[in-house]
Structure 1
Amino acid sequence: MEDTIRYLQDRFKEEQARFDHFENKCAKFLTAVSIVIVGLSGLAGFKNGALFKSDTPTSMLMLITFILAAFCIACSWGHALSALRINDCPSLPSSRMTAEYLRDVSDDLKQRHIYNCYVDTLEKLKKAIDEKSKPLEHAYNELVMGACLIFILAVLTLIRELAA
């Protein structure tokens, strides 16, 4: 049983490190998306808002592309914020009642209780990590779509400038 508990302790440390990794990744991703939003805002004001003049088919296509890119990036920011949402990191029981129980029971019951604590907490920790990973994956996919749309916008801008 001691080997099993040592194994569970190692897995618990790994899962806690994974939880911290996701928290840090969420924070960095949110910062990066915020910087992209600032850049997109700067692009909107480029040449006195020429992007919002829809007098030609190319200009109309540019406007639609910009709106779609802005929408994708805004959704990405929202999903990154959702992933960063402060949740309790599941931890092992540490109450006085638990400590007194462990003090008063036989070694076999003590080992079984510790085993159950690790297994239960690991399950909660894995669930918490999964809850963070889903919106972060959505945020990344939306940012990629937004970047592709910005690239298309850049190509359309280049075409418009060369045609003028």
Structure 2
Amino acid sequence: MNITLEYLRDRYSEEQARFDHFENKCEKFLTFVSVLIGGVTAVAGISKGIIFHPSSPVGWIVLCAFLMASISIACAWGHSLLALRIGDCPVLPRSRAAAEYLSVVDIGTQSEYIYNCYVDTLEKVSRAIDVKSKNLELAYQELSIGAWGLTVVAFLTICMEISK
């Protein structure tokens, strides 16, 4: 049982490190998307908001691409917030009652109790990481859509300015 408990202790440490890794990644991603939203807002105001007053079919394409990119980036921001959402970070029982229980039971019961604590907590941590991972993946996909939309906007805007 000692080998099993050591194995579970190592897996628990790895999952906690993985949880922290996702938290850090979410934090950085949220910061990046927040800065990007500021940049997109600034771009929208360039040339007195000409992007919002289309006068040609290309202008309408630019407006639609800009709106699609803006919505995608806003969704990426929301999903990164959901991924970063501070909720219950599953941890092993650390209450006084648990410690007192372990002090009064025999070694076999202690090992079984600790084993169950590790297994239950590992399952909870894994589920929490999966939720963060899913939201972060959605945020990356939405950011990619936004990037493509902004690329179309930039390309068409440059082409329109050159053709004037």
Per the TM superposition, whether the score is higher than 0.5 is yes
Kindly report which structure 2 residues correspond to 1:78-89, keeping only aligned pairs within 5 A, or say none.
78-89=78-89
Partner of residue 40, structure 2:
40
CA distance, structure 2, for counterparts of residue 161 and residue 19 of structure 1: 48
Q: What count of residue pairs does the alignment treat as equivalent?
A: 164
1:40, distance to aligned residue in structure 2 (A): 0.3
CA distance, structure 2, for counterparts of residue 155 and residue 94 of structure 1: 58
Kindly report which structure 2 residues correspond to 1:1-164, keeping only aligned pairs within 5 A, or say none.
1-164=1-164
The one-letter amino acid of 2:109's match is L
CA distance, structure 2, for counterparts of residue 163 and residue 69 of structure 1: 24
CA distance, structure 2, for counterparts of residue 38 and residue 117 of structure 1: 45
Deviations 1:19-44 (A, max 9, x none): 11111111110000001101100110
Identity of aligned residues (%): 53
Q: TM-score, normalised by structure 2?
A: 0.98
1:128, distance to aligned residue in structure 2 (A): 0.7
Q: TM-score, normalised by structure 1?
A: 0.98
CA distance, structure 1, for counterparts of residue 131 and residue 58 of structure 2: 42
Secondary structure of the residue aligned to 2:48 is coil
CA distance, structure 1, for counterparts of residue 53 and residue 128 of structure 2: 46
Deviations 1:19-75 (A, max 9, x none): 111111111100000011011001101111111111111111111111111000011
Runs of 4+ in 1 over 6 A off after TM superposition: none
The one-letter amino acid of 1:106's match is D
Q: Please list every run of 5 or more consecutive structure 1 residues that lacks an aligned counterpart in the other structure.
A: none
1:95, distance to aligned residue in structure 2 (A): 1.2
CA distance, structure 1, for counterparts of residue 14 and residue 42 of structure 2: 42
The one-letter amino acid of 2:125's match is L
The one-letter amino acid of 1:46's match is I
Q: Please list every run of 5 or more consecutive structure 2 residues that lacks an aligned counterpart in the other structure.
A: none
